Amino acid sequence: MTRSQPVPPPAPEVLSAFGAAPGFMPRDEGLALHAAAVTAARLGRPLLEVGTYCGRSTILLADAARSAGLTALTVDHHRGSEEQQPGWEYHDPDTVDPEVGLMDTLPVFRRTLYRAGLEEHVVALVGRSPQIAALWNTPLGLVFIDGGHSDEHATADYEGWAPHLVPGGLLVIHDVFPDPVDIMTGQAPYRVHLRALASGAFEETGATGSLRVLRRTGGDPLTPAPAGLSQPAGRP
């Protein structure tokens, strides 16, 4: 992968589909994610995200994968993460299945891909991230972590998927907020970010808003976390 190669922006119709899809990622972070995905796609390996929700970010990975003749993979149980449950700030009652009384974002996600014309470029892996990661053995060019925001879930996503990145592959982490005031959205991803850097297996190559991009340089991503980085610090 040549670092100096220019990265084309998404086509207007892709940005339009991104903007129309339900989700929380702002445009500048979306553009940074797309650029990372296009760059990582040059390695010729699949692109994977953890945390599909309704497919807003999946559109960007799928577009990058389509341009490179690859497949984007997205992992989610589609029952919503902690902060999306009833009574919490990010809960959307329109995503609740009235028959079972639980969130189900899978139908919305499918509509998102259909409207964007990207269904055939995405494989949806429906289930719990650690269960799927335990069965996985395909090298990846990009891992985008944007799932649960508890230490338990963010750490499991990192430990389950980061080892599958090929050398030069990109680890992208969303909702990285160093300020403890943001504990409901970003302290666990922040600790994962610090752990990845402390492992010696990654170098940071970009930061946009709460999005961090790290390149795998070698070494073991599962090097034990320094004291204080792996322990929960309250909810999430």
> Cβ contacts of residue 112 below 8 Å, gap of 6+?
17, 21, 22, 54, 55, 56, 58, 59
Coil, helix or strand at residue 181 = helix
> DSSP character for 8?
P
Q: Which residue in the list 34, 77, 78, 149 is annotated as catalytic?
A: 149
Only one residue has tokens 């984007």, namely 72
- Which helix (H) or strand (E) is 55 found in, with range? none
> Cβ contacts of residue 222 below 8 Å, gap of 6+?
159, 162, 163, 199
Longest dimension (CA), the chain: 52
Rounded CA-CA distance 56/174 in Å is 13
Q: Are 58 and 34 in contact (CB under 8 A)?
A: no
Query: Is residue 149 among the annotated active site residues?
Result: yes
Q: Are 186 and 210 in contact (CB under 8 A)?
A: yes
Give which of 45, 214, 215, 199 is closest to 136, Cα–Cα: 45
Active site residues: 149
